[in-house]
C-alpha cells in the first residue's frame, strides 16, 4: 500500500466509502490458510479411498454399535389351545357352474394357534373323523353317456357334444368320496387335511344334493390307507394315500 501512488490510494478510499458491499479482499496469508484446509480435506478423502477399513475395524465398529443398543427380549414360546366337541365343517367348493360340497365332522378336536415367524399357524387335531366330498356333479343321458357343465354354463358330454339341459331323461348324478379316519389334522393356513388310519369309499349315486347315509349304496371302490392327504386350496381335489389297499367291484349287471 505504501508503494501505491497517493492518487490511487485516495481513489480507492473514495471507492470503499461509496460502495460498502465490496468483495472481501483477502490477504495472501488468509488465502494460504484456505488452501491448506482444502488440501487437508482432499487428502483425507484420498486416504479413505486408498486405505479402506480392515475387517477387524468393521467388527469393532459394529460391536460398539450393538453394545450401545438396548438388549432384545428373549423369545417366549406361546400358543393358544381350544377344545371342541361334535365339530362340523362345511365347505362349498366352487367348480364350474354347480358348487361341490365338502363336510368334515369330528367327535372331538383341539385347535392350536401358535406363532410361526411373522404369522400365526392354526392347526386342528381331530378324533373320530368323517369326511364327505362331492368329487363331481354330472348328468346321465338316456344312452348312458355322461354330461357335465363346462365353463360358460354349457352342458356337454365328455366327447364335447353339447346337451340341452331341458332334454328329457337326464338323470342328475354325483360322484362322492367318503372317508372315516381315526385321527386327522387340518391346517387352516395351508388348507391341507391329513387323515390317519383311514377307510375310504367311492360312490356314484343319484341326485346332486349331498347324501349323508351310504348304508344302502354299493361302492365302486372301498379301501383303507395308513394316511390320506388332500388340499382344499384351489380347485384341485386330488389326494394322496400311503399304504393303500383298495377293492374295485364291477358295476351292477356285470359278474
Site residues (CB under 8 A) for another protein?
A: 135-136, 140, 144-146, 157-159, 202, 204, 220-221, 225, 236-251, 253-255
Q: Between residues 67 and 151, which has the closer beta carbon with respect to another protein?
A: 151
Nearest-angstrom CA–CA distance, 10 and 4 = 10
Nearest-angstrom CA–CA distance, 224 and 214 = 17
Q: Among 121, 128, 130, which Cα is nearest to 89's?
A: 130
For residues 20-38, one letter each, b for 16 or more C-beta atoms within 10 angstroms of the residue's C-beta and e for the rest, the string is eeeeeeeeeeeeeeeeeee
Least distance between another protein and beta carbon 165 (Å): 18
Least distance between another protein and beta carbon 64 (Å): 57
* 106 beta partners: 87, 129
Least distance between another protein and beta carbon 91 (Å): 17
Least distance between another protein and beta carbon 62 (Å): 51
Q: Between residues 103 and 157, which has the closer beta carbon with respect to another protein?
A: 157
All cell numbers assigned to 164: 340341452
Nearest-angstrom CA–CA distance, 181 and 215 = 17
Nearest-angstrom CA–CA distance, 235 and 187 = 17
All cell numbers assigned to 35: 488452501
Q: Between residues 90 and 249, which has the closer beta carbon with respect to another protein?
A: 249
Q: Between residues 103 and 175, which has the closer beta carbon with respect to another protein?
A: 175
Least distance between another protein and beta carbon 216 (Å): 19
Q: Between residues 191 and 242, which has the closer beta carbon with respect to another protein?
A: 242
Amino acid at each position: 500500500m505504501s508503494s501505491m501512488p497517493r492518487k490511487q490510494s485516495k481513489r480507492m478510499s473514495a471507492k470503499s466509502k461509496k460502495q460498502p458491499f465490496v468483495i472481501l479482499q483477502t490477504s495472501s496469508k488468509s488465502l494460504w490458510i484456505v488452501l491448506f484446509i482444502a488440501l487437508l480435506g482432499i487428502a483425507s478423502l484420498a486416504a479413505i479411498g486408498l486405505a479402506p477399513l480392515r475387517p477387524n475395524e468393521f467388527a469393532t465398529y459394529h460391536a460398539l454399535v450393538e453394545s450401545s443398543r438396548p438388549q432384545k427380549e428373549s423369545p417366549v414360546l406361546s400358543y393358544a389351545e381350544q377344545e371342541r366337541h361334535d365339530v362340523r365343517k362345511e365347505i362349498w367348493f366352487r367348480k364350474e357352474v354347480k358348487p361341490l360340497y365338502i363336510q368334515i365332522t369330528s367327535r372331538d378336536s383341539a385347535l392350536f394357534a401358535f406363532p410361526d415367524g411373522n404369522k400365526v399357524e392354526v392347526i386342528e387335531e381331530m378324533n373320530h373323523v368323517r369326511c364327505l366330498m362331492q368329487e363331481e356333479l354330472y348328468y346321465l343321458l338316456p344312452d348312458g353317456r355322461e354330461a357335465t357343465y363346462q365353463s360358460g354354463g354349457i352342458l356337454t358330454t365328455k366327447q364335447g357334444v353339447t346337451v340341452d339341459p331341458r332334454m328329457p331323461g337326464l338323470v342328475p348324478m354325483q360322484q362322492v368320496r367318503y372317508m372315516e379316519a381315526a385321527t386327522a389334522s387340518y391346517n387352516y393356513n395351508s388348507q391341507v387335511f391329513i387323515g390317519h388310519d383311514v377307510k375310504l369309499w367311492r360312490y356314484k349315486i343319484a341326485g346332486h344334493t349331498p347324501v349323508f347315509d351310504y348304508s344302502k349304496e354299493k361302492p365302486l371302490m372301498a379301501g383303507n390307507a395308513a394316511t390320506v392327504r388332500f388340499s382344499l386350496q384351489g380347485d384341485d381335489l386330488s389326494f394322496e394315500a400311503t399304504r393303500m389297499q383298495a377293492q374295485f367291484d364291477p358295476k351292477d349287471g356285470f359278474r
